[in-house]
Structure 1
Amino acid sequence: MSSVTSYVNIAAYKFITLDNLEEMRPQYQALCNDLGLRGTILLTPEGINMFLSGTRENIDRYLDWVRTDARLADLEWKESLSTEQSHKRMLVKIKKEIITMRMPLIKPELGRAPSVDARTLKRWLDQGHDDEGVPVVMMETRNAFEVDVGTFNNTLDYRIDKFTEFPEVAARHKDELAGKTVVTFCTGGIRCEKAAIHMKDIGYDRVFQLDGGILKYFEEVGGDHYTGDCFVFDYRTALNPKLEPTETVQCFACRAVVTPRQQLSPAYVVGASCPHCAPEPAAKASTGERVASA
Structure 2
Amino acid sequence: MAKREEAEDGVLLYYKYASVPDLSHLFHFYDSNCKSLGLLGRVRIAPDGVNVTVGGKMSSLEKHISIIKSNELFKGTDFKLASCHSPSNERVAKECGFTSLSIRVVKELVTFSPHPFLNSPAISNAGRHLSAVEFHSVLQNAGNSLEDNGSDQNKGLVLLDARNVYETRIGKFQTPNVETLDPNIRQYSDLPAWIDNHSEQLRGNHILMYCTGGIRCEMASAYIRSKGAGYENVFQLFGGIQRYMEQFPNGGFFKGKNFVFDHRISVGSFDTDIVGSCLLCGSPFDDYSSRCRCNNCRMLVLVCDSCQEKACSKYICELCQKHRRGDMPVQIDRFHPQSTHESGAGELRSSMPGHITSFPELTQIDGDTSPRKLRILCLHGFRQNASNFKGRTASLAKKLKNMAELVFVNAPHELPFIYQPRSSEPNNGPDESSAEQNCNVSNASQHCPPPRENCKKRFAWLVMPQFDDSAGTDWKEAEEPFDPLQYQQQTAGFDESYAFLKTIFSEMGPFDGVLGFSQGAAMAALLCAQQEKDDSIQRFRFAILCSGFSLISTKSIWGSLNCPSLHIFGNGQGKKDRQIARQASMDLLSLFDKGSAVVIEHESGHIIPTQSPYINQVKDFLQRFL
Decide: shared fold, TM above 0.5: yes
CA contact (8 A) 1:80 1:243 kept: no
The structure that has the greater radius of gyration is 2
Residue 101 of structure 2, aligned match among 90, 98, 102? 90
CA contact (8 A) 2:206 2:233 kept: yes
1 or 2 for the larger relative contact order (CA 8 Å, sep ≥6)?
A: 1
Q: Using the alignment, how far apart are the partners of 2:12 and 2:270 within structure 1?
A: 15
Q: Using the alignment, how far apart are the partners of 1:242 and 1:89 within structure 2?
A: 32
The answer on 1:264 being equivalent to 2:306 is: yes
2:211 alignment counterpart: 186
Q: Using the alignment, how far apart are the partners of 1:50 and 1:210 within structure 2?
A: 19
2:248 alignment counterpart: 221
Q: Using the alignment, how far apart are the partners of 2:247 and 2:313 within structure 1?
A: 37
Residue 114 of structure 1, aligned match among 123, 128, 151? 128
User: Shift of the alpha carbon at 1:175?
Assistant: 2.2
- 1:159-170 to structure 2, matched below 5 A, reads 159-170=184-195
1:104 alignment counterpart: 119
1:173 alignment counterpart: 198
Structure 1 range deviating more: 130-139 or 52-61: 130-139
The answer on 1:199 being equivalent to 2:253 is: no
The answer on 1:157 being equivalent to 2:182 is: yes
* TM-superposition CA deviations, 1:3-45 (whole Å, max 9, x none): 5842121110010111322222122112111111111111111
Q: Using the alignment, how far apart are the partners of 2:9 and 2:48 within structure 1?
A: 29
1:24 alignment counterpart: 26
User: Shift of the alpha carbon at 1:190?
Assistant: 0.6
User: Shift of the alpha carbon at 1:264?
Assistant: 2.5
Which secondary structure state, in structure 1, belongs to the residue aligned with residue 166 of structure 2? helix
* TM-superposition CA deviations, 1:102-124 (whole Å, max 9, x none): 2624232x354212111111112
CA contact (8 A) 1:249 1:257 kept: no
Residue 78 of structure 2, aligned match among 76, 79, 82? 76
User: Shift of the alpha carbon at 1:250?
Assistant: 5.2
Which secondary structure state, in structure 1, belongs to the residue aligned with residue 180 of structure 2? coil
Q: Using the alignment, how far apart are the partners of 1:42 and 1:242 within structure 2?
A: 33
Query: Can you give the 5+ residue segments of structure 1 that lack an aligned partner in the other structure?
Result: 281-294
User: Shift of the alpha carbon at 1:68?
Assistant: 2.5
Q: Using the alignment, how far apart are the partners of 1:179 and 1:90 within structure 2?
A: 45
Change in Cα spacing, 1:273 to 1:14, as seen in structure 2 (3 Å) is farther
Change in Cα spacing, 1:176 to 1:44, as seen in structure 2 (3 Å) is same
- 2:171 partner letter: G
Q: Using the alignment, how far apart are the partners of 1:124 and 1:70 within structure 2?
A: 33
* TM-superposition CA deviations, 1:93-146 (whole Å, max 9, x none): 1112222212624232x3542121111111121222231544431101112222
CA contact (8 A) 1:149 1:257 kept: no
Query: Can you give the 5+ residue segments of structure 2 that lack an aligned partner in the other structure?
Result: 88-92, 148-152, 273-285, 318-326, 330-626
User: Shift of the alpha carbon at 1:149?
Assistant: 2.1
Which secondary structure state, in structure 2, belongs to the residue aligned with residue 187 of structure 1? coil
Change in Cα spacing, 1:243 to 1:93, as seen in structure 2 (3 Å) is farther
Which secondary structure state, in structure 2, belongs to the residue aligned with residue 266 of structure 1? helix
* TM-superposition CA deviations, 1:136-190 (whole Å, max 9, x none): 3110111222211211115201222222222232233222234421111111101
The answer on 1:37 being equivalent to 2:48 is: no
Structure 1 range deviating more: 91-100 or 42-51: 91-100
1:124 alignment counterpart: 138
Change in Cα spacing, 1:217 to 1:236, as seen in structure 2 (3 Å) is same
1:212 alignment counterpart: 239
Q: Using the alignment, how far apart are the partners of 2:310 and 2:241 within structure 1?
A: 29
The answer on 1:142 being equivalent to 2:167 is: no
- 1:93 partner letter: R
CA contact (8 A) 1:122 1:221 kept: no
User: Shift of the alpha carbon at 1:214?
Assistant: 1.0
Q: Using the alignment, how far apart are the partners of 2:193 and 2:8 within structure 1?
A: 43
- 1:235 partner letter: H
Structure 1 range deviating more: 158-167 or 28-37: 158-167
CA contact (8 A) 2:225 2:232 kept: yes
Which secondary structure state, in structure 2, belongs to the residue aligned with residue 138 of structure 1? strand
Q: Using the alignment, how far apart are the partners of 1:279 and 1:51 within structure 2?
A: 37
Q: Using the alignment, how far apart are the partners of 1:268 and 1:195 within structure 2?
A: 41
- 2:255 partner letter: T
Structure 1 range deviating more: 40-49 or 68-77: 68-77
* TM-superposition CA deviations, 1:263-282 (whole Å, max 9, x none): 3323677xx967458989xx
Q: Percent identity?
A: 24
Change in Cα spacing, 1:213 to 1:21, as seen in structure 2 (3 Å) is same
- 2:263 partner letter: Y
Q: Using the alignment, how far apart are the partners of 2:158 and 2:224 within structure 1?
A: 14
Structure 1 range deviating more: 33-42 or 125-134: 125-134
Change in Cα spacing, 1:100 to 1:243, as seen in structure 2 (3 Å) is farther
Change in Cα spacing, 1:47 to 1:120, as seen in structure 2 (3 Å) is same
Change in Cα spacing, 1:221 to 1:130, as seen in structure 2 (3 Å) is farther
Aligned residue pairs: how many? 275
Q: Using the alignment, how far apart are the partners of 2:299 and 2:222 within structure 1?
A: 30
CA contact (8 A) 1:253 1:273 kept: no
Q: Using the alignment, how far apart are the partners of 2:328 and 2:202 within structure 1?
A: 42
Question: TM-score if structure 1 supplies the norm length?
Answer: 0.82
